[in-house]
């Protein structure tokens, strides 16, 4: 299991605005080349999002299903990545002063990822999560103006 956290220097609603926008998924999910709406109303429970992952010259199609949607605290997804298998991806979102602490917890459920799950795979997931959370923070912080900045700059 790979657990990692990131402080995002915006309030939780700014993070939710990005998480709820399926057209921005590929901007922050590492490895995702493109994404498009699937079934249902993203990110309501049971809704899906389709995506492609590029692995060198190969593309793998996959989809993600929302398993738990409880704003403003929790979003849990199950990613289906063809031969790579399935994974549970959980976001625990906490207000942290005027900012947001997001805790990302991912672990393989089945397929090749589940079969080969070990400490080395967790290390790779940790590296991926570090990059994913930095990208997510950048997208959120660039999308939402920082409150109080006008007076701080004056």
- Is residue 35 one of the residues assigned to a domain? yes
- What is the rounded CA–CA span in Å between residue 141 and residue 79? 26
- What is the rounded CA–CA span in Å between residue 46 and residue 67? 6
- Is residue 92 one of the residues assigned to a domain? yes
pLDDT at residue 47, as a whole number? 98
- pTM for the model stands at 0.85
The CATH code of the domain that includes 67 is 3.30.530.20
- Is residue 153 one of the residues assigned to a domain? no
- Is residue 98 one of the residues assigned to a domain? yes
pLDDT at residue 56, as a whole number? 81
- Is residue 38 one of the residues assigned to a domain? yes
Number of domains in the chain: 1
Residue 89 has pLDDT above 90, yes or no: yes
- Tens digit of each residue's pLDDT (9 = 90 or more) over 34-82: 888 999 999 999 999 999 888 788 888 899 999 999 999 999 999 998 7
pLDDT at residue 148, as a whole number? 59
Domain of residue 86, residue span: 2-145
């Amino acid at each position: 299991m790979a657990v990692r956290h990131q402080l995002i220097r915006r309030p939780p609603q700014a993070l939710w605005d990005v998480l709820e926008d399926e057209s921005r998924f590929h901007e922050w999910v590492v490895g995702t080349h493109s994404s498009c709406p699937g079934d249902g109303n993203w990110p309501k429970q049971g809704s899906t999002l389709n995506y492609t992952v590029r692995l060198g010259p190969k593309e793998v199609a996959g989809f993600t299903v929302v398993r738990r949607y409880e704003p403003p605290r929790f979003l849990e997804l199950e990613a289906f990545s063809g031969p790579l298998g399935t994974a549970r991806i959980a976001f625990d979102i906490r207000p942290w002063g005027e900012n947001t602490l997001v805790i990302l917890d991912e672990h393989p459920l089945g397929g090749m990822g589940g079969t080969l799950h070990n400490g080395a795979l967790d290390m790779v997931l940790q590296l991926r999560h570090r990059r994913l959370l930095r990208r997510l923070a950048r997208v959120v912080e660039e999308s939402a103006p920082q409150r109080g900045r006008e007076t701080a700059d004056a």
